[in-house]
Amino acid sequence: MLHIGIVGGDHVDVALELKAALLSLDSTVIVTIDEGDMRHDAEDPRTAFADKQINQFNAICRLAAAGAQLVAFSCGCPHRFLGVLQKEVPVRLVDSVDEVKGRLPIDEYARVILATDPTPPAKPFKVGLIGGLGPAATVDLYDKIVKATPAANDQEHFKLVVEQNPQTPDRTKCLLEGGEDPTLALYNSAKRLQADGCDAVIVPCNTAHAFVPFLQRHLNVPFINMQQVTMDEIYAKYGKSAKVGLLATSGTVKTGIYSEKALAMGIPMVAPDQPHQELVMRAIYGPKGAKAGFTDGQCREDLVRAAEYLVQKHGCNVLILGCTELPLILDEGDMEIAGKTVFVIDPTSALARKVVKTAEESFARTGVR
């Protein structure tokens, strides 16, 4: 059953006439009139014009929330900015003004409305980012997404929402020490991103991915998995000749969120022994570590020593920077470690590349950014 919304505003009498005309042509349709208050206290013409746009936008959103599939207007003023309105709302708008005929008579406008396809307009791709895990890693991922996007101007970038919650309990402490569980904080962030219309959710925290299966059961929006996209890139580059060393928090190592994927793909993966794992943890959490804002000095020395161990002891030709703080210390790319050229992969960069690829594929399908 078709549900039509009419922005009544200052012309409720016209809206009522239009409703009667619609029902006389098709008695099965549902017609809702929005009589919401329209602000008219602007002190200058430019503010008044902005008010008109915002008044119409708010009314359309109320009608969409009420279930309207098409939205019509009781006046002709939205014609001036209908294109802008249509980009910002999730329902199909029907102009009351014809470019040739001008403002349509009510009966003719009613016929145009009923002949309009109620299919919602194509939705631009939007990604939601659960941020604050930690704040610097969030900025790093966003920066990499921007740099990976093939855009010549602002408008060629895609929509991205950050739900910044640095108060999310520490994931590693939960996994290793029985600390406060971050599940609800992560879920609440993801839920808000889903409500905002995001098509995918990303998390710039490797350890947080251990909790994603608990969240996904209660969400409709999918996560783009950082570990999977990283392993996919390694396999595409090296196949089963890869020998992977994992530099990550002890919590990430313990969960197997990388090693289980490597095993399923037939790729050998090792982590540092206890003394060298302690160096990795110090590079991340120590007083001179990445979470304290350091990216050089002791934290770099500690991380390089752990990397040298993996190359010398296990013959690794690929190293994963499996904590989102570690790419702040070491760059992605080929690196000389213990006399051997090793490919260092940054999962944050791999995730950024996958997000951009997904967004570009969406644009190719819909033509909408």
Using alpha carbons, select from 197, 200, 201, 203 the residue that is nearest to residue 168. Answer: 203
- Tell me the torsion sign for CA atoms 299, 303, 304, 306: positive
Distance CA 129, CA 132 (A): 10
Catalytic site residue 299? no
Q: Name the burial class of residue 40, with classes exposed (0-12), middle (13-18) and buried (19+) by CB atoms within 10 angstroms of its CB.
A: exposed
256 dihedral zone (left: phi>0; alpha: psi -120 to 50; beta): left
Q: Are 253 and 270 in contact (CB under 8 A)?
A: no
- Contact partners, residue 126, CB within 8 Å, separation at least 6: 158, 159, 160, 161, 196, 197, 198, 199
3-class DSSP state of 173? helix
Q: Identify the active-site residue in 174, 198, 316, 323.
A: 323
- Tell me the torsion sign for CA atoms 6, 11, 17, 21: negative
Catalytic site residue 323? yes
Distance CA 203, CA 70 (A): 36
Give me the residue label for tokens 């490919």: 343
Q: Name the burial class of residue 239, with classes exposed (0-12), middle (13-18) and buried (19+) by CB atoms within 10 angstroms of its CB.
A: exposed
Q: Identify the active-site residue in 198, 205, 299, 316.
A: 205
Across the chain, the runs of DSSP E, i.e. the strands, are 3-7, 30-34, 70-73, 92-93, 97-98, 102-103, 126-131, 159-164, 200-202, 244-247, 269-270, 318-321, 333-337, 340-345
Q: 207: which 2 tokens? A: 């350890």
Distance CA 358, CA 354 (A): 6
What residues are labeled active site? 205, 323
